[in-house]
Amino acid sequence: MAGITDQPFRQLCCQMGAGLAVSEMISADQSLWKSNKSQRRMQHSDEAGIRAVQIAGCDPVELALAAKVNAENGAQIIDINMGCPAKKVNKKLAGSALLKEPNLVEQIVKSVVNAVDIPVTLKIRTGWCEQTRNGVEIAKIAENNGIVSLAVHGRTRNDFYKGEAEYDTIKAIKASVSIPIVANGDINSVEKAEQVLRYTGADAVMVGRGAQGRPWIFREINHFLKTGTKLPAPSMDEISSIVIEHVQALHNFYGEFMGVRFARKHVAWYMLKHAQGKAFRSSFNTLESAVEQLEALNLYFDNLILKESVLYV
């Protein structure tokens, strides 16, 4: 989720109950490390909680170096990306394209695991396509070469994000290895989280798109799994605080110019289920300053909270 799971969003998700929030994907290509974007993604020492950093590439030596550099910069877990379906990533034989090359997968895993003294995890899909769904084979390679935990998205690369995730392959992977398995794909409700855990036998679930605009999903899932009961939905007053503090964190992290632009997409996700959300997004996206954005959000939520309180008088 490059461009989404930046430090402000990861911190928020952890505050909302996520047990682990993995960084945006960092390329192992050293020629890209001098960009502002890469520099922001490669600084981890100031981040609270467990610092898990995801690296991507296809060269075992480059990936090993990327792992070492990020460990030196404060990473506590290195996660190797073999799940990204993006064409610009796959054409370089990175991300999920690596699933077509089990021998290269083994070389990469060995190289990265041997390069660092911190745990190394792996993220994959079920395979490249329906005819080459080799998740079990990749999982065994991962386990045999030192990977400590494996996250599996229940789609092939050719599926991208279309249709529904399938969990049969994740179930088969869980039965074939002894390392912890994390099930991923379409986990967007407490019921779905419980269903997937029960069906696959996985040790945990990973939430991606389901947390966009709804970071409190983590505490909802935790509560449901522990008690079997649902938490009440967050009040509009709490949602207001979450959104405004998130936007302020984006402004502080990126600076005003970029922070304003990153805030637009996060606010759009928060507003998806609001009756007046579409109209608000249109006007919000024209605002060019941090002050204007915060004033607009405060006014918007003040009106909603007022209407909510009138309804319950």
Catalytic positions, written as ranges? 84
Amino acid, res. 104: L
Q: SS3 sequence, 172-193? A: HHHHHCCCCEEEECCCCCHHHH
Rounded to whole angstroms, how far apart are CA atoms 185 and 210?
9
Three-state secondary-structure class, residue 22: strand
Tokens of 124: 């994959």
Q: CA 251 to CA 262: how far, in whole Å?
A: 8
| Placement of tokens 């939520």 in the chain | 301
Structure tokens at 285: 């996206």
DSSP 276-312: THHHHHHHHTT--SHHHHHHHHHHHHHHHHHHHHHHT
Query: DSSP letters along 80-99, please?
Result: EEE----HHHHTTT-GGGGG
- Tell me the HSE value of 93 on the side-chain side, using a 13 A CA sphere: 9
Taking the C-alpha atoms of residue 238 and residue 233, their distance in angstroms, rounded to an integer, is 10
Burial of 28 from C-beta contacts in 10 A (0-12 / 13-18 / 19+) = buried
